[in-house]
Chains A and B, each alone.
Chain A
Amino acid sequence: MVAAPRFKDALEILAKHRVDLVVVGGVAAVLNGAPIATFDLDVVHARSPDNLDRLAAALTDLEARYRDPGGRNLRPEPAGLAGDGHHLLLTRCGPVDVLGQIGHGRRYEDLLPDSLAISVGSAVVRVLGLSTLIRTKEEAGREKDLAVLGILRQTLQETGEK
């Protein structure tokens, strides 16, 4: 049985393990005030060796496994998390996507300056700002990204930011 998303719990566990990451995707959009729906938590992580170890510990705590179409029970390893790829996981707090980069090759270090510190429960997490979130979705250009661009742009307009 797939666990239903529990966004706050997932963020608190990642914060408990002191994982350096930026929240992106739909949850970042919602935290920025956009009224959209999503079922997974997307994060871009720092890929220093220490952070990969902390991330792996957090993912063990979250009981993370790959969303493997073949039904294999594959857990993420630090070495595999060091690359640019996307790790699409199921956890006890719902689907979590751990992303090496987004858009046109934007890594953690590229996104961090455009992120905000936001309190969620007992955690303080870095969340990608709305204007950069919009740019990354424009760059990704997938149908699912393009589908929410209108409401993200309207939200940005309402905030008065550029």
Chain B
Amino acid sequence: MDSSEPASGVAAMPDDGDASLIRWMLSLTPEARLAVLQGFVDSAAELGNGRGT
């Protein structure tokens, strides 16, 4: 179940380069980081095979 909340009242964040992305990756376990990479590779392969949406 999606437990997210609407972000009303939250201002857009300034461009921080890749810092927020790095912090998000660092918040994951190493195995979850590898799963992120695997997901990227799988998506790229699907696109290459013409199965992308």
**Residues 32-46 of chain A, each 1 if its beta carbon lies under 8 Å from chain B, else 0:** 111101110000000
Check B21–A35 contact: CB distance below 8 A: yes
* Known contacts A118-B30, A119-B31: A8-B38 contact under CB 8 Å: yes
CA distance A5 to B19 in the complex (A): 27
Interface size on B, residues (CB 8 A): 22
Check A30–B34 contact: CB distance below 8 A: yes
Check B31–A158 contact: CB distance below 8 A: no
CA distance A123 to B25 in the complex (A): 21
Check B33–A31 contact: CB distance below 8 A: yes
Kindly state the interface size class of chain A when it binds its partner: 20 to 34
Check A37–B37 contact: CB distance below 8 A: yes
CA distance A4 to B41 in the complex (A): 8
CA distance A33 to B22 in the complex (A): 7
Check A158–B19 contact: CB distance below 8 A: yes
Check B45–A4 contact: CB distance below 8 A: yes
**Residues 5-42 of chain B, each 1 if its beta carbon lies under 8 Å from chain A, else 0:** 00000000000011101111110101101101110111
Task: Collect the chain A residues with CB atoms within 8 Å of residue B42's CB.
Answer: 4
Shortest C-beta distance, A118 to chain B (Å), equals 5
Chain A residues within CB distance 8 Å of chain B: 4-8, 26-27, 30-35, 37-39, 94, 118-121, 127, 151, 154-155, 158-159
Can you list 17 A-B contacts with CB-CB less than 8 angstroms, sorted by A residue number? A4-B41, A4-B42, A4-B45, A26-B37, A27-B37, A30-B37, A33-B28, A35-B18, A35-B36, A118-B30, A120-B31, A121-B31, A127-B30, A151-B18, A151-B22, A155-B25, A158-B19
- A-B pairs with lowest CB-CB distance, top 8: A33-B26, A31-B30, A4-B45, A118-B30, A30-B37, A33-B25, A35-B21, A35-B25
